[in-house]
Each structure stands twice: as structure tokens, then as C-alpha cells.
Structure 1
Amino acid sequence: MKKMRKIFAVLLTLAMVLAMSMTAFAAEFGTKTNDTASLTVSGLVPGEATEVSVYKVVGWDEAASSWTLEQNVTAADVVLANKPVTINWSNFVDKRTTLTRVGTMNTTDGTATFHGLEIGAYYVYAGSEHTNYNPMGEAVYEYGNDGLMKPADKTIDAKGSTYNLTKAFTGANGTTTYQVVERGQEVPFTITAVFPSYGKDAKDRAFQITDEPTGMKVTGVTVKVGNDTLNLSDDTYKLVSVNEDGSDGDEITLPATEGQKVRVRFTSTYIGTKNAHAGQTVTVNVTAQITDADTFSNTASSDKGSNTPNVNGKLGSITINKYDETYNKDSETGEVTGNLLAGAEFSITPVKEGATEIKFVHVSDDETNKTSIYKKATAEEIANEEITKVTSIVAKYGKVVAKGLDDGDYTIVETKAPKGYSVVDVPNVKIINGDNPVATADVKDTKLNALPHTGGIGTTIFTIAGCLIMVTAAGLFFASRKRTNK
């Protein structure tokens, strides 16, 4: 008898472990039959243990051919008079525990399927420790070829219908196509999301959106929920910095420092306890100034979404190469050969009305690569008297690169030539809007013609000879007059 008890205990333990495993990881509930429907919830965060529950809110009375409201569902929740029926899914959030629950399961693979459902409409709740999903539901029926109603399998995209984070770089003309920008320019970004909902028993009622700039600094933020533009306050949202561990830092005022993350943190007062904003579109407009001279990027993230949309961009540049008379460019391959000349200086001016010579800040000189680098000065740098700005950039070793420029045409003027060479004309260049916004100007020069040395020995001989002739002529003149007088 003892042996049987031990065996029974082992079997019972195995059964309990199996049951717990099915509860934790199963992605299906109920039994699929031909005369019932199935409802699949997809788009859940994969790898995250998520509880999914289904509640029946509208039934079908086949005998009376009419819809019926289920337990604790009122006319304020479902309008049966409309065709089609109108269901306010958000109304069920606060009274979820009083509804007719069909089934509950936990899943980690991002989907959950409920089988054996009768014709009707079902409210779906989904939530986990880290993610809350907006109210959602579906009616599981369709009409057959005979015009009669029959059960149908349906799928709800929880991610698409609950929380979605997108980000766009909006150009000056309203487009979101790729665009080259210049250093110091302020660029607008748009982040859109959906305000989350919170279960009745939710302890973590928080919502934040973070903007992470690289090669930029955030200068302005506006927040809109639904049709309402929010003012920064304790009743709406706060702007805070972000610590290295991802937690909230101190409140910040704009403009932020270069590369500083800026977080929009909705306050508990605004989030509330009644899901008043659940499902509304959240629009965060960010303005950021370009501080890098080569590239920039901007990333958005949130505590209520797993996606992190990113926008990347580039700045234009002009490379000027100063060559001597050995310069040559192969007409077929485009390969350039020749000796670089050190010390030439150039100014650069955009080809547009009212444009003046661009002011630059020196970055570096690389003797190994024969390259000097300058970057376009920002308005703040121009106003800062402690920072040296120049309009003539120096090709110290023969090549100079001007970075941080916008797309468009530019005039280049050689303001000073290397010793022994002349100032020459430089053709205009064009930076093209695209993935490779780089322009190059090759400047060829020749040595100045050799001149005789002033005061050399040849001149001296001729001068002395001329003087001797003049003295001799004068002597002969006075001698002839003396004889005549005698």
C-alpha cells in the first residue's frame, strides 16, 4: 500500500508540473470544433510572460435572430441599434472582473488563441509586468453563401491596435524623404505613439517617451494627446534627463546639452485611474540642432513598446586639393595624380542671394594624409569670442576639407597661393542631396615665370660703360672748345 502511495504521489507531482507548464507556456485555450469560432491575439511582446483573458460581452439569440447583452454589459457599452453594432471596448476596462470570462492563459511566444467560442463579441484583456495593451475585442462570425450567420476564426493584432511608436524626420517642405542638412541647423522630428491603458489592478501606472539624439542637441519639445496640446506642468508631463541605468534623472530645461537624452514623463495626475486617454494618439514634436559635422541620428523609445525607431542623416562637405603643374586626371578612370602644394587658402560662399563667406572653425591638421579639416561654425560659436573663426581655410599640406555644409552650389575663391605660385580661378562645386553629399574641387597651378635679378652684374657693366662714354664725350667737347678759343 505504501508503494502505491509513493507511485501515486510521483504521478500527482508530474501532473501538477505538467499543468503548471501548460498554464505558463501554452498558446492555445479550449478545443477547436467545426461549429465554433477561434480568436487569436497576436502582436504581444515575444519572450515576455503575458496574461490574456477573453470575456463575452455580446451573444447571439439564434431563435430570436437578435443580439443579446451579456452579464453587466449595458447600452452605454454596446449600441445594438446601429448597423453594424457599436462597441466601446474601453468601457470594459474598469468592470472587467464583473464580465463573463470565457478563459485566461499565460503566453510567452507573442500569441494566444482561444478555441470553442460561440457566435458573439468578445472583449480581450492583455497585460504583463512591463507592457500594458489598450482595450481590444472582436466579433467572431461571418455570413455564408446562404446568407446565414456562422462562426468564424478572427485575429487581433495587439501590437498594432494598442501601442505603436513611429518616428519621422520632417523636412522644411513637409516631406520625410532623405535630406542633407548643415551644421547648426535646427531639424524637426515627429514621434507618434498610442496612449496605453491600465488594468484595474495595475500598480505601475507610468508612461514615458524618450528621445535620444546623437550629433545633435534637443532645443524644443511639444506634446499633444488626441486633439489637445499639453503645457509642461505637474498636471501633464515633465521633461527629465536619463541616467546611465535608464532611470529618470533630474528635470531639465531646454536647450539640452549635446547628445543628452530627453524624456517626456507623463505625470500620475494626467494618467489618472480611469483610462481617460487610453487609445488616443500621442504626438511628440522634437526640434534638435545639428552639432556634428558629419552625421546625426535620433532614436525614440518608450516603456510601453519594444520597438525603437531611428532616423539617420548626413551633412555635406567640400574637399579642395591644390596641385602643381604635374596634376593629371585620367579621362576614363577619373584617377587623379600630381604633387600637392602646401599653404594655399580658400574661402567658400553659398550661391544664393545675400550669402556671405562661410565662417569655419579649425578642427585638425593631418600631415600623414596631407589633410586639414574645418567645420562650419554654428551661431553660438560665432557669438563666442573665445572661439577662433576664419573665412579662409588653409590647405596646410595641400588638401583641405570643409564639413557641415548643406546641399546646393558653392563658390570657391583662392585667397592666397603657395609661395612661388599664382592665385587661380576655382570652378563652382555642387553638394547633391543624397547618401553621398560630397563635392571635390581640384585646383591646378604653375610656377611664376623667372625674372632677372635687379642690379646684377650685366646691368652694372652696361651702366659703367655708359658713364665712360658720357665722360669721354664731355672731355672731347671741352677740348674742342678750348682749341677754338685759342
Structure 2
Amino acid sequence: MRKAKKLLTLILAITMMFAMSITAFATDSGNDVPAGAKIKVEGVGDNAQLTYAQVIKVDPTKETGWAFTNSSYSSLFTQYGTDEQSMIKGWIAAIDESESTRLSKLGSATVSTTFPNPLEGAAAGLYLIKGTEPGYTFSPMLAYVSPDDAKNGETITVIAKKTPDEIDKELSDKDNDHYVENNKEISYDVNATVPYLPKGGTAELVITDTLTGGVFKRVKEGANQGKVEVQISIESTPRYIEPESDSKLVIDLGDLISEDNENANKELVITYTAICTAEVINNKATMNNDPLTEDEVNSYTGKLKITKYNEANSNNPEKLSGASFVVMNADGQYAVIEDDTLKEWVDEYTEDCYVTTGSDGTATVKGFDPDQKYRFLEVVAPTDYALNTDPVEAEWKVDMPDDQQIAEAEMYDTKLSELPYTGGKGTAAFTGFGVLLMSVAAGLYYSNKKNKTTK
């Protein structure tokens, strides 16, 4: 009987050893039995750097079944108890407290091991993950792997807790809207990221946009009249927002932030339009009223200048006042000028389009696009000068600062020709010559008559 028991014990031992070897083989070979869980951090960019440390591990010899991986971590849990096991008990009992509170001390822990994202083969326990990424500030992240997760090879997903350090403001059409005409529509893009909402915490996403030298374009008709159309890249339909003034627009996107963090870390492009009303239009955007997040972009208009001279072949040409011009664009339209500034374009010019040279012989108008071509056409010549009907193109000066763009043109006129008139010196020579001829003819007549009488 004893021999049978010994034999049975031996068989069981061999069987267990064989089973263990099979399990080890399967684990190592990556077949049916996983080596641990997978931890994956979502919502990070390609340039993010993640590090981690396992803070709590399984320990079946402890009362709670858990233990610190390093005694130094106990200092992070002192708010929950006085010794290791009471600290872990307190941590477990405080599961419903806010995430920011739970992380307030854990965030001070130093972690240096590179987190490969995903982390494969994670054993059961609590993991602290930290991150850095250009343009963002990370909050500490926790990942809990249960014994079942590790046993079954589950994937534990952690949403990156990051907040943008700033927003990015830019022109929607960088190639064409850096230089613009007065009254031109300019579209702007604000690039932002939906923040993570920590459990029991708060988060906001409010973009405040201010203009100098422009006004926001408002809807002119329909139910949304007077509002500004704002397009959010992750939404199919635009929003219509009432601006606080012509130069201030507040876009509150707090509704995109939710407890389930469905949109957390999604990148947004927020697009809206303004109208240029000055030589320089400046657009600034800030996030959550934080000046450190401010970003701005400018657009610029340019000036046109015409100088009027007398004779082109003169050694010392004189500048002429009182010459009136109209400005033409490439489409043959004429600029309506108000307060020396482009107001609009029309197909036929009137006196509202006139630009007249002053005492210095020049005239300057503002609000034109330095990327476009313009011509001056004279419509009223100075006194005593003939009208020049050949338009001249204004040439943009090169290498000028953005806020000093100017295109210049010159035009020359000729003096009026003197017109001949009866009694004037223009006909005196002809009259004298005629009288002379008549006198000669009369002399010849009387001489001939006298000769006949003598005979």
C-alpha cells in the first residue's frame, strides 16, 4: 500500500513538472498562454517620450496580497495609512476620490524606465506612467493590471492626460492672405486639442479671438443673421456664435469634453472669417484666457503712389499738381477711393474714383494687395497740359518690410500746343504776303495800261 502511494505521488510530481514545462514553453513561444497583459497609452504624438515604473506588485505573503515594489514608494501613500499594508488598504478604499487627488503625490515620483508603448508582458500590479511631448504638459497616468488581466493577456488602454501649452493660429490660405486688399475676407485656422477630463476634476477649452484692423464676418441672412460661422474639423455642421463685438469672438468648446473622454486628445481645426479694414490686420487667439497660450498672425495691405511730371525730355522735370487719376486692377475695374483708401471696385469710374496730385505732384492711396498689379489712368490733366491717355503700371518696391509695402508709378504730360486764330501772329505773315502780292499785281496792271496808252 505504501509502495502504491509512493508511486502515485511520484507520478503526480512528474505530471506536474511536465505540465509546468509545457506552460513555460507555451509562454516563451507566445502560443496559447500569454506572458502578461499589454498596457497601451493612446492619444500621444510621434514625438512623445513615455517612462514608467511598477509601484505595487502581487505578494501573496501580505495581508492585502499586494506590496510596494520599492520601499521608497511608501512615501507617496502616507495620506492613506501609517505602514505599507494600511497604506494599500487606504488606497483601495479611496477608489472613488478624484483622480487629481490620487495622483497629487504619485506625480512627484521619479520614473526613468522607457515605456515602449505598448508595454508587453505586464505583471499584475499598479503602474505609474509619465510623458513629455513638445507643446504639451502631461499629468501622471496610472494603469492597473489585475491578476486576471495578466493571466488572460488583456490589453489595458490608458488615455494620455495632456494639455496643450499653446494653440496654433494661422492663415487658412497662407499663400494668398499674407498680403490682402482692404475689405478682403481672410479665413483663420486655430489648431487646438481637446483636453483630458480627470475623474472628479475639471477641464475647459475656450478660444478667445481678438482682431485689430478688422471685423468678424457675420451671417447676413437667415436664422443665424449677425452671428459668426465657425467650423470645427471633427463636426460636419458649422456652429454659429454671437461675437462679443466686431473685434472679439469667444468660442467655448466645453461640450466636447466628457467624462468618458471620447474626444480627449483629438486635434481640432477651428475656422472662421474676418474682413480687413486697415493697413495691418492682427489676429490673436488665446486658450482658456491664459496669456502663455497666445498666438497671433498678421495680414498686410500696401500703398500705391503716382508722381506727375511735365515734359519727359526736360533736364529738370517739374512736378505737377491738380492731375486726377483712377486706379485700375487686372480685371479692368476701377477703385472707389474713400479717405485715400480703397473702398470697392466698380466697372465704370466716377469722380468717387478720382485720385488727385497735391502740391508736391504726388498722390498716394492705401489698401491694395502687394501680390496684385495695378495701373493709374489719367482722367483730368493739370492746367495748361494735355491729357496722357496711356495708363502706367505701379511697380512694387522689393525688399520692403511687410507693413511698408508700396508700388510707385510716374507719368509725364506735355504743354498744350498754341492754336492759330484770325488776327493773331499766326495769320499775320499770310496776310502781309497777300497784301504784297496784291500790290505787285496792281503795279503791273497800271504799268501795262500806261504802256498801251503811250503807243
TM range (shorter): 0.5 to 0.7
**Aligned twin of 2:34:** none
Q: CA RMSD in A?
A: 5.0
> Structure 1 residues 69 and 194 mapped into 2: Cα distance closer, same or farther (>3 Å)?
farther
- Whole-Å separation in 2 of the counterparts to 1:458 and 1:239: 77
Q: CA deviation at 1:207?
A: 3.5
Count of matched residue pairs: 322
Q: Does 1:179 align with 2:178?
A: yes
Q: Does 1:114 align with 2:108?
A: yes
Q: CA deviation at 1:480?
A: 9.7
- Whole-Å separation in 2 of the counterparts to 1:189 and 1:325: 49
- Whole-Å separation in 1 of the counterparts to 2:382 and 2:188: 46
> Structure 1 residues 415 and 287 mapped into 2: Cα distance closer, same or farther (>3 Å)?
same
Q: Does 1:403 align with 2:403?
A: no
Q: Does 1:239 align with 2:241?
A: yes
> Structure 1 residues 137 and 405 mapped into 2: Cα distance closer, same or farther (>3 Å)?
same
**Aligned twin of 1:195:** 194
Q: CA deviation at 1:285?
A: 0.5
Q: Does 1:266 align with 2:253?
A: yes
In the alignment, residue 264 of structure 1 is paired with which amino acid?
I
> Structure 1 residues 415 and 168 mapped into 2: Cα distance closer, same or farther (>3 Å)?
same
- Whole-Å separation in 2 of the counterparts to 1:100 and 1:469: 121
What secondary structure does 1:390 align onto?
helix
**Aligned twin of 2:206:** 208
**Aligned twin of 1:29:** none
- Whole-Å separation in 2 of the counterparts to 1:441 and 1:461: 45
> Structure 1 residues 206 and 318 mapped into 2: Cα distance closer, same or farther (>3 Å)?
same
* Structure holding more helix per residue: 2
Q: Does 1:359 align with 2:335?
A: yes
Question: Given that residues 328 and 335 in structure 2 are in contact (C-alpha distance below 8 angstroms), is that contact kept between their aligned partners in structure 1?
Answer: no
- Whole-Å separation in 2 of the counterparts to 1:275 and 1:139: 15
> Structure 1 residues 240 and 98 mapped into 2: Cα distance closer, same or farther (>3 Å)?
closer
For each residue in 1:274-303, what CA deviation from the matched residue of structure 2 results, as whole angstroms up to 9, or x when unmatched? 5443322232111222222x2211111222
**Aligned twin of 2:168:** 166
Structure 1 unpaired stretches of 5+: 1-55, 72-93, 106-111, 126-132, 141-156, 233-237, 244-256, 330-336, 364-373
- Whole-Å separation in 1 of the counterparts to 2:67 and 2:192: 33
**Aligned twin of 2:45:** none
Question: Given that residues 57 and 69 in structure 1 are in contact (C-alpha distance below 8 angstroms), is that contact kept between their aligned partners in structure 2?
Answer: no
What secondary structure does 1:447 align onto?
coil
Q: Which of 287, 291, 304 in structure 2 is aligned with 1:302?
A: 287
In the alignment, residue 428 of structure 1 is paired with which amino acid?
E
Question: Given that residues 53 and 112 in structure 2 are in contact (C-alpha distance below 8 angstroms), is that contact kept between their aligned partners in structure 1?
Answer: no
- Whole-Å separation in 1 of the counterparts to 2:138 and 2:429: 109
In the alignment, residue 297 of structure 2 is paired with which amino acid?
V
**Aligned twin of 1:315:** 301
**Aligned twin of 1:251:** none
In the alignment, residue 338 of structure 2 is paired with which amino acid?
H
What secondary structure does 2:97 align onto?
helix
In the alignment, residue 170 of structure 1 is paired with which amino acid?
S
Question: Given that residues 100 and 199 in structure 2 are in contact (C-alpha distance below 8 angstroms), is that contact kept between their aligned partners in structure 1?
Answer: no
- Whole-Å separation in 1 of the counterparts to 2:96 and 2:138: 11
For each residue in 1:425-482, what CA deviation from the matched residue of structure 2 results, as whole angstroms up to 9, or x when unmatched? 454333369735321112234434555664237846964885697599789979999x
In the alignment, residue 211 of structure 1 is paired with which amino acid?
D
Question: Given that residues 164 and 194 in structure 1 are in contact (C-alpha distance below 8 angstroms), is that contact kept between their aligned partners in structure 2?
Answer: no
What secondary structure does 2:373 align onto?
strand
In the alignment, residue 278 of structure 1 is paired with which amino acid?
A
- Whole-Å separation in 2 of the counterparts to 1:311 and 1:276: 31
In the alignment, residue 137 of structure 1 is paired with which amino acid?
P
What secondary structure does 1:104 align onto?
helix
Aligned pairs (5 A) from 1:77-88: none
Q: Does 1:430 align with 2:419?
A: no
Question: Given that residues 70 and 100 in structure 1 are in contact (C-alpha distance below 8 angstroms), is that contact kept between their aligned partners in structure 2?
Answer: no
Question: Given that residues 327 and 444 in structure 1 are in contact (C-alpha distance below 8 angstroms), is that contact kept between their aligned partners in structure 2?
Answer: no
Between 1:309-318 and 1:395-404, the stretch displaced more is: 395-404
Question: Given that residues 307 and 319 in structure 2 are in contact (C-alpha distance below 8 angstroms), is that contact kept between their aligned partners in structure 1?
Answer: yes
What secondary structure does 2:272 align onto?
strand
Aligned pairs (5 A) from 1:433-472: 435=402, 436-450=404-418, 454-456=422-424, 459=427, 463=431, 466=434
Q: Which of 132, 136, 140 in structure 2 is aligned with 1:137?
A: 140
> Structure 1 residues 472 and 178 mapped into 2: Cα distance closer, same or farther (>3 Å)?
closer
- Whole-Å separation in 1 of the counterparts to 2:430 and 2:176: 77
> Structure 1 residues 277 and 359 mapped into 2: Cα distance closer, same or farther (>3 Å)?
same
**Aligned twin of 2:322:** 343
* Structure holding more strand per residue: 1
TM-score by length of 2: 0.55
> Structure 1 residues 162 and 480 mapped into 2: Cα distance closer, same or farther (>3 Å)?
closer
What secondary structure does 1:455 align onto?
coil
In the alignment, residue 409 of structure 1 is paired with which amino acid?
K
- Whole-Å separation in 2 of the counterparts to 1:177 and 1:469: 77
- Whole-Å separation in 2 of the counterparts to 1:441 and 1:70: 84
Question: Given that residues 183 and 377 in structure 1 are in contact (C-alpha distance below 8 angstroms), is that contact kept between their aligned partners in structure 2?
Answer: yes
**Aligned twin of 2:97:** 97
**Aligned twin of 1:375:** 341
TM-score by length of 1: 0.52
> Structure 1 residues 411 and 122 mapped into 2: Cα distance closer, same or farther (>3 Å)?
same
- Whole-Å separation in 2 of the counterparts to 1:450 and 1:180: 48
- Whole-Å separation in 2 of the counterparts to 1:411 and 1:342: 19
Q: Which of 204, 216, 236 in structure 2 is aligned with 1:229?
A: 236
Aligned-pair identity in percent equals: 21
What secondary structure does 1:440 align onto?
strand
Q: Which of 356, 368, 384 in structure 2 is aligned with 1:420?
A: 384
- Whole-Å separation in 1 of the counterparts to 2:112 and 2:296: 44
- Whole-Å separation in 2 of the counterparts to 1:462 and 1:100: 111
